[in-house]
Structure 1
Amino acid sequence: MARRKLSHEGTLVLDSEGFSKLLADDETVVALVAEARSRGMEVVICALTIIEAVHARTDKARLSRLLSGLRVVAVGDEEAKAASALLTNAGLHGHKCASDAAVAEPALRQRRPVVMLTSDIDDMSKRCGERVRLVAV
């Protein structure tokens, strides 16, 4: 597999699949996160991503260690309104797409360049446009 390159500085955002793979110690995602950190990038997740990624078999000690090294972005009133606007502008409905919009919204506010590890390139590109570089995981 070709090695994926990340930018210097900026922000790496993990969506639910990216964070799930990090929790599962996926070799590719662990390497991408380590590379991002070595390049001075901040690693960020949306608070809702924790809800999506954690399950009964999640290693709680690993979860705690990983979260201590990430910046978790809260979803308050203003963030929810901005995420809703992203959906409206993309012609999408919150019933099916709320969590993706909640991940995309803070990604758009991070220090650039912004890279997102996601399993849903098509849907995330509708929300983020060209302002966030999407990397498939």
Structure 2
Amino acid sequence: MARRKLTHEGTLLLDSEGLSKLLVDDARTVAMVAEARRRGMDVVICALALIEAVRARTDRRRLAWVLSGLRVAPVGEEEAKAASALLLRTGLHGHKYAIDAAVAELAMRQQRPVALLTSDLDDMGKLCEDHVRLIAV
């Protein structure tokens, strides 16, 4: 019997709110991540999203378990420069939108189609334009 070749079917990216919802077992978010995995999508978060998502009350074991099932994308110099350029292009200020810009920059360089679970449709819409499908969480 021949093995079926796995194909990459796009990317599901979670911003900090998407990660927060996953950490508390939000049924809708868990279902969307499960469906993405079933479809062969890569499930990704930006490493900087951890800064916003993790709180003092976050269960560290749960966090470790959730992160073990995600690809955590680092932010290095090149990614930071691209996010900074994105902020300049959109006229948004780095102090307030730095992490959003890093998430948007990551989203735009992922395997398409890309869907982003976010609570910030307005700002992420400005940053991602029409390159990424935004899904409210």
Please tell me whether residue 25 in structure 1 is matched to residue 25 in structure 2: yes
2:73 maps to which residue?
73
2:38 maps to which residue?
38
2:124 maps to which residue?
124
Q: Residues 2-17 of structure 1: matches in 2 within 5 Å?
A: 9-17=9-17
1:66, distance to aligned residue in structure 2 (A): 0.8
1:59, distance to aligned residue in structure 2 (A): 1.0
**One-letter amino acid of the counterpart of residue 30, structure 1:** V
Query: Number of residue pairs matched?
Result: 130
**One-letter amino acid of the counterpart of residue 10, structure 1:** G
Identity of aligned residues (%): 72
Structure exhibiting the larger radius of gyration computed from Cα positions:
2
Tell me how far apart the structure 2 counterparts of residues 38 and 59 of structure 1 sit (CA, whole Å): 26
Tell me how far apart the structure 2 counterparts of residues 127 and 55 of structure 1 sit (CA, whole Å): 26
**One-letter amino acid of the counterpart of residue 98, structure 1:** A
Deviation digits for residues 16-39 of structure 1, max 9, x if unmatched? 100000001101100000010001
Report the 3-state secondary structure (helix = DSSP H, G, I; strand = E; otherwise coil) of the residue aligned with 1:112.
Answer: coil
1:127, distance to aligned residue in structure 2 (A): 0.6
Report the 3-state secondary structure (helix = DSSP H, G, I; strand = E; otherwise coil) of the residue aligned with 1:56.
Answer: coil
1:88 maps to which residue?
88
1:79, distance to aligned residue in structure 2 (A): 0.4
Tell me how far apart the structure 2 counterparts of residues 78 and 132 of structure 1 sit (CA, whole Å): 20
Gaps of 5+ in 1: 1-7
Please tell me whether residue 63 in structure 1 is matched to residue 53 in structure 2: no
Tell me how far apart the structure 2 counterparts of residues 51 and 128 of structure 1 sit (CA, whole Å): 21
Report the 3-state secondary structure (helix = DSSP H, G, I; strand = E; otherwise coil) of the residue aligned with 1:111.
Answer: coil
1:9, distance to aligned residue in structure 2 (A): 1.3
When the two chains are superposed, the root-mean-square deviation of aligned CA atoms in Å is: 0.9
TM-score normalized by the length of structure 1? 0.93
**One-letter amino acid of the counterpart of residue 52, structure 2:** E
